[in-house]
Structure 1
């Protein structure tokens, strides 16, 4: 493990997740449970990293409202650093809302307007010397959340303060995957995608995760990991073989956050010096455990 915290840049918000144990169709109104908990891709990864013994901190934007105060108190209690989170007195704290049934995600809406409005302000600690600067680039790992805008992601791709960082990137949703275009082609970037996101970047449908990962590498990416629900996950690199792993069969208890769990477990495994195959095994097992509710 490095002594530096992993910096997770992106959404820091409240997750509102409604789940029914029964199958749902459009317009259904069923009994279930609703959870209200800290979330967002960047924060989910940070919390998962801390749970695995890796120091982590978030850079994002949170409103100066009671919801924001409560969110940051909860996040600090989990051991995630919040010292560099931007607080905006004009805007509310962001929210993600999802509906799940026994088969997985039905629909979701991510309201990340405060993060988007903050713009490059969220990167200020990496530019003004508090964490790094152009003269003293950040030498550690940074997780980049696709909830960031295209302008924010372009700034990350071109900022000299981040040129030496190990960038791990997750797009947040298929609809936001194309935002990652400025980061494709950079040697220090690893992409973590689900199959739909990979197909968006590849520009065509793919038969499975292996084909999708290879297609994104063919577009110029240095390294790509692709998940595909209960089907095999894959890891592809420039000039290397495509590795695949079949997730264990589990009963679905939740799906939101599984990809973030996959990323964090893979990152920690690699930080411990494990090889590509073993790191992929660890990531697949961790995601399956999360989905099972264990």
Structure 2
């Protein structure tokens, strides 16, 4: 598909968004995630909450706004990959730190007893809120897993780049944006992010090599080859699979391998959304 094309195709509507995609994948891997987000009190919001609940995803901590509509993401995909996408996350941005109340009011944690489990954090949040999170004691004991949401929002993650408890999940383009460079390989991108002070990073490059890097070691692997049926949500599935593998006790090398296999399976269309 090229710019300006008018072609036959299929239009489908599915529950999504970075956090929702990660939560759905975590649920498929046998975990029970909870969402911290903003969803409108409209028909779309009710449908989204129901979609989460039937998948075993907790929604008790979701901020339901009376006057903000539910956000929407629209992607156009062709056989040659993602053509274009629009993310309308204005309600999430307007809600601000209201979505974090459960981490401060005692339901999940407080400043004196911060939450200690894994938190998947996405770059759809505003720069101001991400900067606040980077220094907040509410996140000081958590296992932070951070994704930029899209290349257009990659630089929002700069305040979290050198966070001592953060793992960054980025693709090769996003790694370049964070480092203000261009990289040819995932290994080069991951190494540059570590050199800039990152605690741990995972850099993907589509069907090419992916690299997990820490301050002390690097691991590079190639995903299994598959026919591509979809691309939106692949990175979120990769991230969720890696989190689930580590929770299950996998080491760096095996967790990377399991994440790549799960993402390839998702891209092939052989898993349910």
TM-score band w.r.t. shorter chain: over 0.9
Q: Is the 8 A contact 1:120 1:155 kept in 2?
A: no
Query: Aligned with 2:15: secondary structure?
Result: strand
Of 30, 47, 52, the match for 1:75: 52
Aligned to 2:265: 289
Work out which of the residue numbers 189, 200, 203 in structure 2 matches 1:226: 203
Is structure 2 residue 163 aligned with structure 1 residue 186?
yes
Structure-to-structure mapping, 1:111-190, within 5 angstroms: 111-190=88-167
**Greater relative contact order (Cα 8 A, min sep 6): structure 1 or 2?**
1
**Matched residues in 1 for 2:95 and 2:209: separation?**
38
Distance 1:207 1:27 in 2: 30
Measured on the aligned residues, the alpha-carbon RMSD in Å equals 0.8
Offset at residue 239 of structure 1 (A): 2.5
8 Å Cα contact 1:262/1:284 also seen in 2: yes
Instruction: Spell out, residue by residue over 1:242-287, the C-alpha distance to the aligned partner (whole angstroms, 9 max, x if none).
Output: 2111111111100000000000111111111111111100011111
Q: What is the CA–CA distance in structure 1 between the aligned matches of 2:35 and 2:151, rounded to whole Å?
A: 23
Q: Which residue of 1 aligns with 2:226?
A: 250
User: Is the contact between residue 236 and residue 243 of structure 1 (CA under 8 Å) also seen in structure 2?
Assistant: yes
Residue 190 of structure 2: aligned partner? 213
- SS of the equivalent of 1:25 reads coil
Q: State the shift of 1:181 in Å.
A: 1.1
Query: Counting strand residues as a fraction of each chain, which structure ranks higher?
Result: 1
**In 1: Cα distance, 2:224 partner to 2:231 partner:** 15
User: 1:198, 1:75 → 2: CA distance?
Assistant: 31
Within 5 A, what are the aligned runs for 1:22-33? 24-33=1-10
Report what 2:215 is aligned to.
238
**How many angstroms apart in 2 are the aligned matches of 1:141 and 1:119?**
21
Mapped to 2, the partners of 1:226 and 1:248 lie a distance apart of 16
What secondary structure does 1:34 align onto? coil
TM-aligned CA deviation for residue 141 of structure 1:
0.5
Equivalent residue of 2:83, what SS? strand
Give the match's secondary structure for 2:35: strand
Q: Is the 8 A contact 1:177 1:197 kept in 2?
A: yes
CA distance in 2, matches of 1:71, 1:55: 17
Q: Tell me the distance in 1 between the aligned counterparts of 2:141 and 2:119.
A: 10
Q: Match of 1:57, SS?
A: coil
TM-score relative to the length of structure 2 = 0.97
Q: Are residue 200 (structure 1) and residue 180 (structure 2) matched?
A: no
Q: Give TM-score, length-normalised by structure 1.
A: 0.91
Distance in 2 between residues matched to 1:161 and 1:141, nearest whole Å: 13
CA distance in 2, matches of 1:239, 1:278: 17
